[in-house]
Amino acid sequence: MAHRSEADLLAERDLILAAQRDRAAFAPLYERYVDQIFAYALTLTQNRELAEDVTAATFARAIEELPRFEWRGVPYSAWLYRVAANLVARDRRRPGWIELNPQIGDGAPGPEDAAVSGDRAAEVRAAVAALPGDQRQAVLLRFGGELRNREIAEIMGRSEGAVKLLTFRALTTLRRRLGAPLPAERTGRREESAGDR
């Protein structure tokens, strides 16, 4: 999903206004965002059934709050992501959850490739899950939700600078945990290999 132009945002505002006048007009907004919200909820919960429940509850809340929704010049998804995150956080405070590891889906090239890819994906998911909550949310919204820092700041109730710092710290931690070189290390390696020539 590419970042939205001003024209795209105005068109979305018009969709919201139409849905506020007639709830049947909410369908295009639902179709636009349901897969994104489900993917976000699945990443947060690691449980397909729970992610489906969170997605359904998010859109039920969206319909319920539609008459009171105020346009603020950011994609509607920013509000939906915040609702989904709040629902997951609320559910996590309740006991009785069993988190299941996601299974490798059909269509994988081969068992060996699927195993390696699945192991790496599980390693990345585990590293993201181990991040502090605010860093994890910033990374998921930035890379999973493809939102801009301004939109993430609104969802999280933080400044853009705080979101940038959270994302930087999270990426630094992930690079270390996953064995990826830090930017300064990559630069140093390039300079060394250039000096060897």
Together in a domain, 56 and 1: yes
Domain boundary among 95, 129, 147: 95
Global pTM reads 0.53
Together in a domain, 83 and 158: no
Mean pLDDT of 45-52: 88
Domain boundary among 60, 95, 130: 95
Together in a domain, 73 and 5: yes
Give the 3-state secondary structure of residue 160: helix
Phi and psi at residue 74, in whole multiples of 5°?
-120, 160
Together in a domain, 3 and 83: yes
Domain boundary among 61, 95, 129: 95
CATH number at residue 134: 1.10.10.10
Residue 31 in domain: yes
Together in a domain, 91 and 124: no
Residue 113 in domain: no
Together in a domain, 148 and 58: no
Domain around 87: 1-95
- What integer pLDDT is reported at residue 195 of this predicted model? 57
pLDDT in tens, 76-103: 888 999 999 988 888 766 554 444 455 5
**For a pLDDT cut of 90, what percent of the chain falls above it?**
16
CATH number at residue 2: 1.10.1740.10
- What integer pLDDT is reported at residue 37 of this predicted model? 92
**Residue 175, token pair as written in the block:** 């690079």
Mean pLDDT of 50-63: 91
Which is more confidently placed, 180 or 88?
Answer: 88
Residue 153 in domain: yes
pLDDT in tens, 98-138: 444 555 455 545 556 556 566 677 777 888 888 888 888 88
Together in a domain, 146 and 71: no
Together in a domain, 16 and 70: yes
Which residues have a Cβ under 8 Å from the Cβ of 71 and sit 6 or more positions away? Answer: 13, 16, 17
**Residue 50, token pair as written in the block:** 């729970």
Which residues have a Cβ under 8 Å from the Cβ of 117 and sit 6 or more positions away? Answer: 104, 108
Residue 64 in domain: yes
Which is more confidently placed, 32 or 97?
Answer: 32
Together in a domain, 129 and 61: no
Residue 13 in domain: yes
Count of structural domains within the chain:
2
Q: Could you tell me if 42 and 58 are in contact, meaning their C-beta atoms sit under 8 angstroms apart? A: no
Q: Rounded mean pLDDT of the chain?
A: 79
Q: Could you tell me if 86 and 140 are in contact, meaning their C-beta atoms sit under 8 angstroms apart? A: no
Together in a domain, 86 and 124: no
